[in-house]
Amino acid sequence: MTIKMSAIALLSVAALSVAANARDQIKIVGSSTVYPFTSYVAEEFKATTGNPTPVVESTGTGGGMKIFCSGNGLDTPDFTNASRPMKASEFKICADNGVTDITGMMVGFDGIAVAQSKTNGAISLTKEHLFLALADEVPSKDGKSLIKNPYKTWNEIDAKLPNRKITVYGPPATSGTRDSFDEMVMEAASKKLDAYGDKKGKYKAIRQDGVFVPAGENDNLIVQKLTKDTAAFGIFGYSFLEENGDKINGANVDGVAPTSENISSGKYPISRSLYIYAKNSHRGQVKGMDEFLKLYVDAKMIGQKGVLKTIGLVPMTEDELKKVQAAVLAKTKLTEEMVNKHTILP
Amino acid sequence: MPNDKNYFYIPQIKKRNQKATLFKATTLLAIIFSISFLIFFLVDIVRAGYPAFTQTYIQMDVNINEEVVENPYSALKGKNLKIASRAWLRDLPNLIKENPSWMNTTQTLWVLANSEVDQYVKGKESRTHERERVYVDELRADGKVERKFNTIFMTTGDSKIPENSGIYASIVGTVLTIIVTMVIAFPIGVMTAIYLEEFAPDNRWTQVVEVNINNLAAIPSILFGLLGLAIFINFFGVPRSSPLVGGMTLALMCLPVIIVSSKAALKSVPSSIRQAGFGLGLTKWQIVRDHVLPLAMPGIMTGSIISIAHALGETAPLIIVGMIAFVPDAATSFTDASTVLPAQIFTWAGMPEKAYLERTAAGIMVLLVVLLSLNAVAVYLRRKFERKW
């Protein structure tokens, strides 16, 4: 009995190493920021076309590139999500492993707004202000050692700021918005402060003394709280600020207002563009890949009124969307020049 | 008390008794502490999880026509559209296909409510707008809101739409993964134990092997994941995220435990049995096959079931081999992409929507039931077949 069972096991292992020359299920790896949206498209793809749901794995942008570039065979993923453009070094690894025919697509933007009740006048903050208001430990006066965050009002951080109590409603640690905030504000601001020593550029511990209140993600509750507690700020995805523009306004960060133009042009500092890269050589071999791409770049997914917006990301302009759609249709090949210019379009 | 008359009187007796009582009280306290912790955990999980077994449906009039088949989101208007589930509407064309007589009529249907409305009806925090709350309350007063048994949770896989997500796909994945684990780990583990216990000469070499096996049993499970990635995926090209690679990785993890417990079970068979066999002129193989192994079987089974149950609840090594992913479809073969129950729980626990919170707890409840029944089987086998010498 046991011998028979182990024989079956061995046979099944042997059978598999042969059976990898066609696939009917799409495989996707990569960024955890793009993961929720890509999963959504994957689900929609199954529901509307009847193809098997693509498998979406959240490996992080770097991890995704590593797996994506590991080879051109059908046992490697067809797509990788990225919250930054592909690096030249990654492009080279890809090319070395025979992955030469890649098309990159822009998905949209991940912009984070720092908002307050509209009863307040416009306010201008910097990343450093936000960091010093929210970090668990801050540099001491002489800048040499770290002390527990003592700041209670904004003018203690910078005399130019109003004398307002610091209260910030923000996303919980489980949310993708929080990950982005940690990366683009906390870690970025700590890069300039020598007091953090080894943790310089990596510091993202948020204070636990009640000044930062974890609230739901893109939550109506935050808006209600902001209208009542007019001194407070709220942190959430940009699209939510836009929806509630009658009650709240966004703080300028590093002098730039959070508007969709500023986010899509890259001027607004707490924003980044999101991408998905596809292997063109898998199109035609993996069932449904063309259809999936078509659905992905469809206006109802990443357009101005698409699903992308409902999950808190910022869509690109219509002109840009047309360019992206054309590039996908034409299988525009990613070149070294494009990679060096940090773009996906020629 | 006249101590000088009682020769058995011990002067320190009071102190010694006190110490004994104190010790007893401490041990009792420890068990009370662990039991109350367990009860707290169970009550918390059940309280958070049981609402997931019902789901809110709302009775609505749905206009059915050609346009709805093209764009199902046009079937409802205004407030109704706001409170209905997107997943239900998306599936509406299929429902119409099954019921062709509905075409160009208005049907009164129980429409699945979206998760925020569901949370509101269940009396939890929800992001529904004030005007929708008022509307839902009105509907509730008319008896048009009902909480029905959540069949979706039992019949679908993961979904980005909370009210449409379920555990079926991950249960299928778990079953397939565990089959692979058992098929590989059980025979190899038992055979290894038999060789080491019955046939291997007692020399330096076997001692080294045995020490290493004992150490392997205590290695952090994530290392087995790295091993699985390096050997099975990168070297043998087994598909990522498949129950096959997950099962093989977990089998590696189970092997040491199975070997150790099987060796203990074989050792507990008295040597008189073997001596009697030799006396009757049996070969070693006949003695092991017909006498030692059957007598050791209950012990071997118990150890194996416990170790499989452990593998069933394991997540760490599976992250590395890609089984923690968005996989809504149930696998149909060992090489399809799949996820497992603990991985599904892990994924839901990280989701920001409140509705996933109760699904996380409900998933844990299901996992606990499976694990408890496996352990019950182990206890039953041990009780039924155990031999006292």
What average pLDDT does this structure show over A50-64?
A: 89
What is the structure's pLDDT at A171? 83
Q: Which of residues 207-226 of A touch B (CB under 8 A)?
A: 216-217, 219-221
Whether A43 and B160 lie within 8 Å, measured CB to CB: yes
Task: Identify from A11, A17, A39 which residue to disrupt to test chain B contact, counting B C-beta atoms within 10 A and taking the largest count.
Answer: A39
Distance CA A121, CA A76 (A): 53
Q: What is the pLDDT of residues A303-331, one digit of tens each?
A: 888 888 877 788 998 888 999 999 998 99
**How many A/B residue pairs have CB atoms within 8 Å?**
99
* Residue closest to B321 by CA, chosen among A21, A18, A57: A57
Tell me which chain B residues have a C-beta less than 8 angstroms from the C-beta of A13. Answer: 236, 238, 244
Whether A2 and B326 lie within 8 Å, measured CB to CB: no
Q: How confident is the model at residue A5 (pLDDT cuts 50, 70, 90)?
A: low
Tell me which chain B residues have a C-beta less than 8 angstroms from the C-beta of A176. Answer: 352
Tell me which chain B residues have a C-beta less than 8 angstroms from the C-beta of A220. Answer: 127-129
What average pLDDT does this structure show over A132-149?
A: 87
Distance CA A88, CA A341 (A): 10
- Catalogue all structural domains in chain A, each as residue range(s) with its CATH number: 22-109+273-340 (3.40.190.10), 111-264 (3.40.190.10)
What is the structure's pLDDT at A199? 82
pTM comes to 0.80
Dihedral sign computed on CA atoms, order A195, A196, A198, A200: negative
What is the structure's pLDDT at A17? 45
Tell me which DSSP letter residue B333 carries.
S
Q: How far is the alpha carbon of B10 from chain A, nearest alpha carbon, in Å?
A: 58
Q: What is the pLDDT of residues B287-342, one digit of tens each?
A: 999 999 999 999 999 999 999 999 998 989 998 898 988 999 999 999 999 999 99
What are the angstrom distances between the C-alpha of B298 and each of A132, B62, B196, B371? Answer: 63, 60, 19, 19
- Greatest mean pLDDT among A31-45, A163-177, B13-27, B124-138: B13-27
What is the structure's pLDDT at B369? 93
Q: How far is the alpha carbon of A240 from chain B, nearest alpha carbon, in Å?
A: 13
Tell me which chain A residues have a C-beta less than 8 angstroms from the C-beta of B244. Answer: 12-13, 16
Q: What is the pLDDT of residues B204-229, one digit of tens each?
A: 999 999 999 999 988 999 999 999 99
Q: What are phi and psi of B243, to 5 degrees?
A: -60, -30
Burial A138-164 (b: 16+ CB within 10 A, else e): bbeeeeeebeebebeebeebeeebeeb
Using an 8 Å Cβ cutoff, are B165 and B159 in contact?
Answer: yes
Tell me which chain A residues have a C-beta less than 8 angstroms from the C-beta of B328. Answer: 42-43, 46, 53
Tell me which DSSP letter residue A314 carries.
B
Q: What is the pLDDT of residues A199-250, one digit of tens each?
A: 888 888 999 888 998 876 656 678 888 888 899 999 988 877 887 888 889 9
A159/B contact by beta carbon, under 8 A: no
CA atoms within 13 A on the CB side of A97: 18
What is the structure's pLDDT at A59? 85
B160/A contact by beta carbon, under 8 A: yes
Averaged pLDDT of chain B: 91
What is the structure's pLDDT at A21? 54
* Residue closest to B355 by CA, chosen among B36, B117, B182, B144: B117
Q: How far is the alpha carbon of A31 from chain B, nearest alpha carbon, in Å?
A: 12
- Catalogue all structural domains in chain B, each as residue range(s) with its CATH number: 53-149 (no CATH), 168-385 (1.10.3720.10)
Distance CA A270, CA A109 (A): 10
A14/B contact by beta carbon, under 8 A: no
> What SS3 class is residue B34?
helix
What tokens appear for A156 in the block?
């203690």
A5/B contact by beta carbon, under 8 A: yes
What is the structure's pLDDT at A19? 45
Q: Which of residues 61-120 of A touch B (CB under 8 A)?
A: 75
What is the structure's pLDDT at A1? 47
Q: Chain B: residue nearest A16 by CA?
A: B238
What is the structure's pLDDT at B389? 66
What average pLDDT does this structure show over A144-149?
A: 86
Tell me which chain A residues have a C-beta less than 8 angstroms from the C-beta of B184. Answer: 6, 9
Q: Chain A: residue nearest B233 by CA?
A: A75
Distance CA B338, CA B326 (A): 9
Residue from the list A8, A20, A217 with its beta carbon closest to the beta carbon of B352: A217
